[in-house]
Amino acid sequence: MREVNWNNVKREAPKWFRDAKFGLFFHWGPYSVPAYQNEWYSRNMYCKGLEQNQYHEKTYGSLHDFGYKDFYDMLKGEKFDPDQWASLVKRSGAKYAGAVSEHADNFSMWDSAVNPINSMNYGPHRDIVGECTEAFRKQGIRTVATFHHQWLWGWFMSTDNEADVYIPENEKYYGPALPLETNRYIPYRYPDEAFCKSWRDKVLEVIDKYEPDEVYFDSRTCIIQEDYRYDVAEYYYNTRGIKDGIITYKQEDYPKDIGVYDIECGRFSSPKDFPWQSDDRLEDNITWCMVQNPKYKSAERIIHQLCDIVSKNGNLLLNVGPYADGSFHPDAVRILEEIGDWLALNGEAIYETRPFKVAAEGPTTVDDANYDVEKIQEQLDKGDAVDVHSDTLTAQDFRFTTHGDALYAIAFGWPEDGEFRIRTLRKGGILDGEIKKVTMLGNEGELAFYRKEDGLYVKAPEKKPCDCAYVLKIN
C-alpha cells in the first residue's frame, strides 16, 4: 500500500453547499422491482430464514433458478423522465440532488465502461446518472453522486450452496464468492487489491463523466485501502479540480479535514462551528427504496427536522425512492410539494443562513445520533435497517438562524394565548442591541412586541401564514 499525504486534499465546504441547506437523492435500482421491505433485498434474499428470503422463494422461486441478476431487465424505467425529476426537485425547494450512482449490488446507474453491469446494458438501457445530471443543471440544481459500492465486498453470500451467486460464470454480476463471515462491518478479511481498484475506478469514471458537485460516500468506506480512498480525493479536488466540489463521508471513513461529515438518520444536539450533513429518508417504514406499501413522514416532520439541522449549521439530504418504472408515489410528491410551499414562504430563514449564538429553545431535546458499529452489525445480523427516530418539535420549541443583520426565530407551534414568548431573547440576554422591529414571514406589517427579563413577547397575527413552523424575523 502506498503512503499518502492527506494534507494535499484538505478542503472546506464551498459556499454553495453551506447556502443550499436542502437536497434530495433517489434510491433506484433493481431492488426497486421486488420492492419488498427495503433496498437490502439484494443481500437478504440469499439469507435463509430472513423474511426477504422467504418472500423471494415464494414469489420468484429458488435462488438457483431466479437470482438477483434476473431483476436487472425488469427495471424498465418506462416512466423515467429526468426533466420531471428535476421539476420535482425544484418544486420541493431542494438545491442539490442526484440518483444513487451505485448501491451495494454492483449495478451501476450510469453508462459505465468500468462495470458492464449497468443501466445502459440492462433494464432501462439509459444513462440514469447522466440524464439526471443534465436535467438538474438545466434547472440550476447542483448535483450529488452517491456511492455505496464498498458494501459489495461480502454482500452476495448465501447459506444455500445452490444459489446462483456460487455459479462461477455469475461472478461478473455478484463479485467473488466469499465466506459468510466476511459480511461484517469490520470484516476479518478486507477487500483485495482488485476490489479496491474497481471501487476507485467506478468513482473516478463518474467524476470524469459528470463532474458532480458533491461526491457522497456511504458508511463502510473505511474497508477500502487508504491509498485508493486518497486517489479519489486527489483526483476530484486536484487532478480534475472540480470547481466548488465537496466530498461527504461518514464516521472515520475519511480524515475530517478533506470534506463534510455526514450523519445517517441523525443529527447533532448542539450547533457546530463546521458545516455538516444529515442524510435521511422521506420513507417512514425503514426503507430507502420504494416498497409495496410505502409510508411517508409528514411534511411537518421533515420541515421541523430541516429547521433543527440548519440551526446547528447542517444540511439535510433527503431520500425519496421511485417505483421501478421511474415514477413517484403520489403521497411522496404531495409531501415534497408541501415542503416546497413552506420553503417558498419561509426559505429566507433557511437558505444562506448561519447559526445564531444558540440553536434551540424549548423542552424537546435532540440527542447526538449516528449509526455506529453496533447498530450496523445488528442490521447485518437481522436483515433490518436501523432507524434513528426524529421527534416532531412542539409549540414550546424554537430554532434560530441568522442572515446579515436579521435573526430568525422559528416557532413550531401557534400560541394559544396569542403571544409568542422567546426566553432566549429576553432583556439583558445574549441578543446584543435593541430590537427595532419584528415581522412574520408570509404576513404583512410589523408585529407588536416588548422585552422583559424573562423573554421577548411578540403578539401573533390574526391569521397563520402557513400550516406549521412560523418564522419571526427580528431586526
Q: What is the pLDDT along the chain (475 residues), one digit of tens a residue?
A: 789 999 999 999 999 999 999 999 999 999 999 999 999 999 999 988 899 999 999 999 999 999 999 999 999 999 999 999 999 999 999 999 999 999 999 999 999 999 999 999 999 999 999 999 999 999 999 999 999 999 999 899 877 788 999 899 999 999 877 766 555 555 557 899 999 999 999 999 999 999 999 999 999 999 999 999 999 999 999 999 998 999 999 988 999 999 999 999 888 888 999 999 999 999 988 899 999 999 999 999 999 999 999 999 999 999 999 999 999 999 999 999 999 999 999 999 999 999 999 999 998 877 776 555 455 555 445 554 444 455 567 778 999 999 999 999 999 999 999 999 999 999 999 998 899 999 999 999 999 999 999 999 999 999 999 999 999 999 9
- The CA distance from 323 to 28, in Å, is 8
Query: What are the extents of the domains in the chain?
Result: 6-382, 405-474
Task: Name the one residue in this structure whose C-alpha cell is 427579563.
Answer: 453
Architecture per CATH, domain 6-382, reads as Alpha-Beta Barrel (3.20)
Q: What is the CA radius of gyration of the chain?
A: 23
Spatial contact of 474 and 407, defined as CB atoms under 8 Å apart: yes
| Prediction pTM value | 0.95
Which residues share a beta bridge with 422? 456
Count of all residues that appear for the chain in the document: 475
Residue 140 C-beta-side C-alpha neighbours within 13 Å: 7
- What lies within 8 Å, CB to CB, of 394 at 6+ separation is 362, 363, 364, 412, 413
Spatial contact of 321 and 28, defined as CB atoms under 8 Å apart: yes
Which residues share a beta bridge with 218? none
- The CA distance from 417 to 65, in Å, is 67
- The CA distance from 147 to 234, in Å, is 17
* Domain 405-474 coded CATH 2.60.40.1180: yes
